[in-house]
Amino acid sequence: MKQVFNQEFEQVNSMSGLASNFLKSFVLFVAACSILLFSNLDKRISHKNKSLLNQPSDLKRIAFVSFINASTLERIEKGIQDGLAQTGYQKDTDYTLDLYNAQGDIATLNNIVNTLGNADHDLIFTACTPTIQAVSQKIRKTPLVFTAVVDGIAAGLGETEKTHLPNVTGITDLAPHKEMMALIRKMMPKAQTLGTLYNPAEVNSVFAKENMEKAARKEGFALISVPVNTQSEVPDAAAVLCSKSLDAVCQVLDNLSASSYSSIIQAADKANLPYFGFDLPQVKDGASLVLSKDFYETGKQAAGIALEVINGKSPENIPFTSGKRIQADFHEEAIERYGLHIPEYIREIRQANTLRKPVQQVKIAFIGFSNSSPVEDTEKGVRDVIEELGWTEMVDVDVYNAQSDMPVVSNIVDNIIAKSYDLIISACTPTSQAVAHKIKDRPVVFCTVADPVYAGLGKSCEDHPSNITGISVLADFSGAISTIKEIIPDCKAIGSLFNPAEANSVASKMHLEKAAKTAGIELVAIPISTAGEISDATLALLAKDIDAICQITDNLTATSYSGILKEVNQSSIPYFTFMSKQVEDGAFMAFARNYYQNGKDAMHLAARIINGESPGQIPFKLVEKTEVWMNGTARKRLGIVLPVKVSQQIDKTIE
């Protein structure tokens, strides 16, 4: 207004023929208008507070811009404020926060962007894809931290997660489509067709729909999608969708559905169809089950990024990242109505939503048997859950590794006993056996153990010592044999090395042998005791009349598998394994339990114990997640043509 006033004044002053009394009257008139306008500015500006008016210059000026009114964005906003507060940054003391909302209207969003362009913010948070797209086009210098964006690359914010607009960084929140499809398949094994609405005008909606469609195909689902452009169209579009031959509705999360999902749930309910979604509050309105990113934690992550920027780091040097924690909830009545069985791990994830943060420091000892990728992935899973729960400041983890040496295991356990650890997480069978034998007075959570009952950790999954519980990674031997038969229909015999000195190795051999025998396949197993025997034992195995190697996982072969691969890859025999890392190094195919998920599951059990549950009351559980990896180069070398059914099962291809 001041600039406009000055321009008007100069133009008037330059008119030589005007009388001076007219000029004085005009100046007084404009001044009066300015007083009236500025006196009412705080009521007319399109944000919720007045923090930019007459604030001390040392305050950081921050804005939060969202596209719609949705509980998702409210949780992000709260997470941002709480995240800043946890690091000592208090609202109205250290920073001001201006809240803008476009109410789902692009014209309003453009007006907000123009307002931001004329303001002097130190940093701007955005929520939703349309918001960051509009803001980043106009504002090129002020740091921008985005949230509630499905894919930053698809939104045009950069070429890669590390190469992007210099003033932009942020957190993506692609919904867990893959996990949801696997879950629906488990809950509805005979289902064939799912349905969703999507908005073709939203980049994030189209990307989410295509991503979910890909995940659905891998689980054998067809996905029917109906386009919808405005909120008023949603009820009719939902009715059209539910009139099709669907087994369930699985609604992608976009800006339109986030604000009108109740109409979709009502249509699904009327058509007697289960509704699966990706935003937690939908359960209260009748959604059968929801898997959701934790948007509150997303806000806290965004606050952490903002503090890096405020402390001098350029957004250009901060890669895009993604929200980590997944939440789960389900509607008990809806689940019962549709006869759906909720897997135990989903109940545990839901329970994790209510876990209380420790009020006192917790010390955990993590002990692994060997330096191997399963142990490394397990440790990472443990640490990531601690971070996802927001317990990093209250939980300390000391890591021990026995380097595959049993005397060292014994020394480590004695050292742990001498120290005041609150809980022990043991990875691998030998370490878990040693810990269980010596430690009776503190909680123990084992993981990376194939068969805990065979290993002597309990009489059964429910009947075990009062201080012990844990996670089994027993491989999906039946699934592996089934896939091998699909690839090699005439398969008569498979081969594997095993270590008779390892309980987990013997147990795995027994389970593989049983699965193979059921399919009419003979297992040829050769015993080994040291890494030095592997090469000769592999050659002896290849000399047998076998159609494939199907190598079980144990501590010996997990660290020495390169010797097996070297010999097998010089033959025409395909190499199947149960470790994904081996596929990266040349194995043809892996049916791998996800050891990272194994670590996460173990830490979830530990968190329950920290919250007061007794380990003796928590049954042993099997890690749920199995992935199929394939080496494309090995497939071509072997001349294998994959059946369509097997191709759909592949989670990752290494070329």
Q: Compute, in degrees rounded to 10, the torsion defined by CA atoms 327, 461, 598, 221.
A: -60
Which residues are CB-neighbours of 160 under 8 A, at least 6 positions away?
A: 153
Mean pLDDT computed over 496-524: 95
Contact between residue 296 and residue 79 where contact means Cβ atoms under 8 Å apart: yes
Average pLDDT over residues 132-145: 96
Say how far apart CA 264 and CA 271 lie, in whole Å. Answer: 11
577-632 pLDDT per residue, tens: 999 889 999 999 999 888 999 999 999 999 999 999 999 999 999 987 778 999 99
pLDDT at 507: 92
What strand order describes the sheet that includes 493-498? 522-527, 493-498, 548-551, 575-577, 589-593, 626-631, 652-654
**Which residues 6+ apart lie within 8 Å of 248 measured at CB?**
184, 188, 191, 194, 195, 268, 273, 274, 275, 276, 288
How confident is the model over 84-115, as pLDDT tens digits? 998 888 999 999 999 999 999 999 999 999 99
Phi/psi of residue 549, nearest 5 degrees: -95, 130
Angle ∠(553,557,563) on CA atoms, nearest 5: 135
Is the pLDDT at 542 greater than 50, yes or no?
yes
d(CA 580, CA 324): 22
Q: pLDDT at residue 18 above 70?
A: no
Residue 269 confidence (pLDDT): 96
Amino acid identity of residue 458, one-letter, is G
Q: What is the 3-state secondary structure (H, E, C) of 514-540?
A: HHHHHCCCEEEEEECCCHHHHHHHHHH
Is 297 within 8 Å of 324 (Cβ atoms)? Answer: yes
| pLDDT at position 190 over 90 | yes
Pull the structure tokens for residue 299. Answer: 């806000």
Pairing of strands 95-101, 123-127: unpaired
pLDDT in tens, 372-415: 889 999 999 999 999 888 898 899 999 999 999 999 999 999 99
For residue 549, pLDDT over 50 is answered with: yes
Q: 325 pLDDT band (50/70/90 cuts)? A: confident
For residue 99, the one-letter residue type is L
Q: Indicate if the pLDDT at residue 51 is higher than 70.
A: no
Kindly list the distances between the CA atom of residue 452 and the CA atoms of 164, 375, 432, 643, in Å, as whole numbers in the listed order. 48, 17, 9, 35
Residues 6+ apart with CB under 8 A from 354: none
Is the CB of residue 228 less than 8 Å from the CB of residue 240? no
99 phi/psi in degrees, rounded to 5? -105, 125
- The three-state DSSP-derived secondary structure of 383-418 is HHHHHHCCCCCCEEEEEEECCCCHHHHHHHHHHHHH
Report pLDDT digits (tens) over 170-188.
999 999 999 999 999 999 9
Instruction: Tell me the helix, strand and coil percentages in the chain, rounded to 5.
Output: 45, 20, 35
CB of 220 closer than 8 Å to CB of 648: yes
Q: What percent of the chain has pLDDT over 70?
A: 91
Kindly provide the residue ranges of all beta strands, DSSP E only, lying in 203-346, ordered along the sequence. Answer: 222-227, 248-250, 275-277, 289-293, 321-322, 326-330
Residue type, 323: G
Q: Coil, helix or strand for 466?
A: coil
Q: Which amino acid is at 136?
A: S
